[in-house]
Structure 1
Amino acid sequence: MKLTLKLAAIYNIIWGAWVVLFPTQFFELTGMQTPDQLMIWQGMGMVIGVYGLGYWWASYNPIRHWPIVAVGMLGKIFGPLGFLMNYLSGKVPFDFFYTLITNDFIWWIPFSYILLRVHKETRWALN
């Protein structure tokens, strides 16, 4: 659990910094049109970077700091749902899907495992 959260922290901080410092690069790499309002994209990068700090701090005691993991997991669920809604309505091209693989999907199993462990350990503590 600790290693998972440290890896998630490093990934999020790097990805967030990349988006903030080089906001057009993702769009150039995917061939997508660069949005007019890059500040919104950079804001997303800032939020993801801040999640990274939360994951790093949570890694010291994942059971105690489970709410940080839970909030992260919610983002990893709602992000793809938001993409799907926007893709189906024609607001975002499919190429944007590639961000979901590393930002969301690969973390579903390890984050779910952490939250399951929290559930098991706190359930025993309450009995």
Structure 2
Amino acid sequence: MTNTPPLLTPNAPTWMRYTLQAAAIYNIVWGAWVVLFPQSFFIWFGLPLLQYPAIWQAVGMIVGCYGIGYWLAAYDPVRHYPVILVGFLGKLFGPIGFIQQAYLGTLPLVFGLHNITNDLIWLIPFALILRFAYQATYTKKSVNASTLHKAAKL
């Protein structure tokens, strides 16, 4: 038995693997930071400290688990598109929920800073990976890098 990782989906651009691995590392590090230092974000931005930091730590654990899923999905994004889809939806609905709460006045605007790095920067790459996976799974077309460039132009 060798120690080489499983192969990437044939014809899938390598940027997909690197993007998912970067997302994995980011999520695992961010999740660990929140679990180990739950008040630090609030201290840095002058927000009131959490009364129940365990709730925020649970968010960190969930985010870290997503990171593990992204790492595994990186080796075959077509096969593991459901993991990427769940992540995409979280990255879409997280900022929407923040905007709603900021509008209602229950969250200060500065709290939304974490939406930039946790969610918004990943939306387009995840959407392109999902588009590629959809084409590879549900169409008869051969999917390759040029197909992905066409998908990105929609």
Superposed CA deviations along residues 45-103 of structure 1, whole A, max 9, x for unmatched, are: 11000000000010110010000000000000110111111111111111111000000
**2:42 corresponding residue in structure 1:** 27
Aligned residues: 126
- Is 2:28 aligned against 1:6? no
Deviation at 1:18, TM superposition (A): 0.1
- Is 2:75 aligned against 1:60? yes
When the two chains are superposed, the root-mean-square deviation of aligned CA atoms in Å is 1.1
**Ranges in structure 2 where 5+ consecutive residues have no aligned partner:** 1-15, 142-154
**1:104 corresponding residue in structure 2:** 119
**1:114 corresponding residue in structure 2:** 129
Q: Distance in 1 between matches of 2:67 and 2:89?
A: 15
Letter in 2 for 1:31: G
**TM-score, structure 1 as length reference:** 0.96
Q: Which of residues 69, 73, 94 in structure 1 aligns to 2:84?
A: 69
**1:93 corresponding residue in structure 2:** 108
Deviation at 1:123, TM superposition (A): 2.6
Q: Distance in 2 between matches of 1:81 and 1:124?
A: 31
Q: More helix by proportion, 1 or 2?
A: 1
Q: Which of residues 73, 82, 93 in structure 2 aligns to 1:78?
A: 93
Q: Distance in 1 between matches of 2:53 and 2:135?
A: 43
Letter in 2 for 1:63: V
Q: Distance in 2 between matches of 1:81 and 1:109?
A: 16
Runs (4 or more) in structure 1 with deviation over 4 Å come to none
**2:5 corresponding residue in structure 1:** none
* 1:118 alignment partner, SS class: helix
Identical positions, percent: 50
Larger Rg: 2
Letter in 2 for 1:43: A
Deviation larger for 61-70 or 78-87:
78-87
Q: Distance in 2 between matches of 1:124 and 1:73?
A: 21
**Ranges in structure 1 where 5+ consecutive residues have no aligned partner:** none
